[in-house]
A and B are shown apart, each in its own frame.
Chain A
Amino acid sequence: MDPIFSARGIVKAFAGVQALRGVDFNVLPGEIHALLGQNGAGKSTLVKILNGVHPAGSYSGEITLAGAGVSFASPAAARAAGVGYVPQEIEVLEQLSVAENVFAGHTGLGEGVLIYRHKLEDRTRAILDDLGLTIDPKAIVASLTSAQRHLVMIARALALRPRVLMLDEPTASLSGTEVEALLEVLRRLKRQGVTMIYITHRLPEVLEVCDRATVLRDGRVAAELGREEFEEERFIFAMSGQRLQKLFPTHEAPVGARPMLEVEHLNVAGKPGAIYGARDVSFSVASGEIVGLAGLLGSGRSEILHGIFGRVAAEGTVKVDGQPVAIRSPRDARDAGIALLTEDRKRDGLLFNLPVGANITIGNLDPLSARGMVRGDRERSAILEAMRQLNVKASSPQASVAHLSGGNQQKLLFARVLMRAPKVLLLDEPTKGVDAATRQEIYRLVVELADKGVALVVVSSELEEVLGLCDRCLTIADGRIVDAFKRGEGGEDRVLRAVAAAQAETVRAAS
């Protein structure tokens, strides 16, 4: 079978950095083709070439679509030629309806300059039906969950009837059941003959839905695998160039007896809309213990962390090392020895206007200054020490944080929160969007911190992570703790069952 979409000998460099060094990429008609690789492997560069973000002429090599050579001058040209692209970040017009979003910017809606709402809605309904979805085309997008918004973006791409549909990490911000639903949509599209390129970090999804896979490493194709060759070890080897050891490291030191963090009757108001706050949440974390909060996106996991840290208003008592502390702001929490690593690096973590070094020391300058003046020498050595300890790879402390890979950005934020040697560390999705090698480093770091006596709370959408890393797992649903068990006392099925039971109860209570 001839490929429907292929790239040959793609070479691309940025300001002297070789991003792609001769990549061949072939997608066969009707398949779901996985594109894998660690951050920095060249994945996003290849994607940007294929969807016209890097215009023809800025790279060398050839691209063919349905047998004919093509060169895209812009994303619009790629779209017009039949390359659909669904970006990783949700880009929707929140105040418009689903139908208006699906057809936003499309031409050919019929009669002249006027738009007929019912036609728009009918056509949107047809597309959503093809996807097997029951979203109302008239619904305002602001009222949808982020998973639904993602599906609206897929519908938008499909409205142009693309020959190839590229999906860029579509599950990065989805929870377990939402991922399942999305994969089901993809299987459905495949049955309808849609060819898809599936860009992801997550191996289980590749194993589940993809037909073939291309793995990039260091700007080259490290492996091109057919379904019959799919094997987790093989992917990991191709991506990392080495066989990874056991995925989760284990504690050296035993969990301490002394409770380091005690949370009693914590209540956090939910945001207006669908998301639950925290309702009467009580738990404690011993020194040296890692406690995981499992649950679906929007179950209130993050709100619990935000409530403890004073990011949002909360009621209840928080004790650190046995002492009750009044936390009205993040500053109070920080002074009490609590640190928070936020989920969204770009929005709530990095300061893009400051270089790498200042990003690490911001908020921690007091010991590095004298009479209000920053001591350059002290700051520089503290930065270099933090970068070395956490293996933050940047050309210098003056480098821009925008140039760092996702993994290095995450390690930088760890360096920032660890500078104060917190007693309690709250981690919200600590491995979201980082490559496999950094993930390992972060797991090792978490365990090391626990061994040193830090109390850790980890929120993660990946159940495997919660179960593998944590000493104790608290299952959260609808803002409440619905189950708690120690390591080894249950698996993913136990968490999912507890969530399902809680949801069933909520439905019963509502009816």
Chain B
Amino acid sequence: MNSAAPATTENPTAPSLRNRLISFIAIGEVGVIAALLLLVAFFYFMQPAFLSERNIRAILNVVSFVGIIAIGQTILLVAGEFDLSVGSVAGVSAVIAAQLMTALAWPVPLAILGGMGVGAFIGLVNGIIVVKFRIPAFIQTLGMLFIGQGLIQLVTGGYPVYPLPKEVSDFGMSTFAFGLGWSFAFFIVAAIVADFVLRRTVLGRNLYATGGNPEVARLVGINTTIYKIGAFITVGALSAVAGMFVMADLQSGTTSIGSGWELIVIAGVVVGGVSLFGGAGTIAGGVVGILMLKVVQSGLVVIGVNSNWQQIAVGVIMVLAVGLDILRRRYFTVGAGAKTAAAKKAGTQAGKISGA
């Protein structure tokens, strides 16, 4: 019927090597994984101590804290919203949990649940205000960032909550394997579960639809309100978990927990190919992206670069990664309507969702 669809004659079960190669490169995570490996090789070449057991352990432990939040942020970005208050929420949840177990002498497990409840509740508030009252997420969550900072000071009076019950300190010091803390175990399990949910479940698919075009999602019968609010709650709860892991690690409810995390989390997942415009990206991508930023930060320290350069490096990498990603998409979506905004988003997900 038209000349533009010669591919219909192709046997889909036997793609040529070239096609296979192209579709491999077209997968979003490949670029960022390659970049990560290159960076690791570079730092190792400059300073073999970079790949020392101690340094690897240090990087992975640090990554696990922000990584836990990055999982939630990726889910929320896929659903078409984002949250700038994650750092504050981590801090508030941690200091409230710390106060519950010290000042109010709640049993530790209950206080931890309380902290998670705080995070989830703040997520719920963010979600309701953004979705129901149509306040842009940027405004609402930026506001919540400040509110959270204020709450931290109110709850602690400006002083770290210290000392914490012995169980908490013991837990923070203990490791589950290879000298890695429990936060790393939680991070890996949560990432695998979240990746599975996004790739393989109805819930995941509906999240992509919600982020891709909320009106279309509504018209096919998806309750986009619930999905978005649910994603906000997930981010809130995961932020709380990350905050409390740091608290256990520091053995103190410090007021600086989570401070400045929001930007590193967003930068990391965006480096990993998660779209700020919703509907595109994977957990694997987001997690590798944030790992890459941490590798750079650590690598620069190890090879002896002035620490002020870290910030500059993070900024450059983020722009570079997103820029390369846009170029790649443009290259792989030449042809019909490649100029339209729709098509810019279009190239992003074809091939990533494996369920179809």
Contact = CB atoms under 8 A, between A and B. Distances in A.
Tell whether A and B belong to one assembly.
Answer: yes
Interface of A: 14-15, 17-19, 38-42, 53, 218-219, 309, 311, 329-331, 334-335, 340, 342, 346-358, 361-366, 369, 372-374, 376, 379-380, 383, 393-405, 407-408, 416, 435, 437-438
25 contacts: A14-B334, A14-B336, A17-B4, A40-B1, A331-B223, A348-B213, A348-B216, A352-B346, A353-B213, A354-B205, A354-B208, A358-B205, A358-B208, A361-B205, A361-B356, A362-B206, A372-B201, A374-B200, A376-B354, A379-B355, A394-B5, A401-B346, A402-B346, A408-B5, A438-B1
Contacts of A438: 1
A233 to B, nearest CB: 20
Contact of B202 (A15, A38, A41, A372): A372
Given A351-B209, A353-B275, A355-B349, 18 more contacts: A17-B6, A17-B335, A38-B2, A41-B2, A334-B221, A350-B216, A352-B346, A353-B212, A355-B356, A361-B205, A362-B217, A362-B220, A363-B222, A365-B202, A394-B8, A397-B356, A398-B356, A405-B5
Nearest to B347: A400
Given A340-B219, A400-B333, A218 B342 contact: no
Contacts of B346: 352-353, 400-402
B350 A355 contact: yes
Contacts of A346: 342
Contacts of A403: 333, 335-336
A360 B279 CA distance: 16
Contacts, number: 185
Contacts of B150: none
B23 to A, nearest CB: 8
B220 A330 contact: yes
Contacts of A395: 5, 7-8, 10, 12
Interface residues of B, number: 55
A239 to B, nearest CB: 11
Contacts of B306: none
B236 to A, nearest CB: 23
Given A38-B2, A352-B346, A357-B356, A393 B8 contact: yes
A352 B342 contact: yes
B334 A15 contact: yes
Given A352-B346, A353-B349, A39 B2 contact: yes
A450 to B, nearest CB: 23
Nearest to B22: A15
Contacts of A348: 213, 215-216, 219
A397 B342 CA distance: 19
A355 B279 CA distance: 12
B3 interface: yes
Nearest to A360: B356
Contacts of A38: 1-2
Contacts of A349: 216
Contact of A358 (B8, B340, B353): B353
A422 to B, nearest CB: 12
B20 interface: no
B109 interface: no
B12 A330 contact: no
Contact of B205 (A374, A402, A437): A374
B345 interface: yes
Contacts of B275: 353
A242 B57 CA distance: 70
A219 B6 CA distance: 13
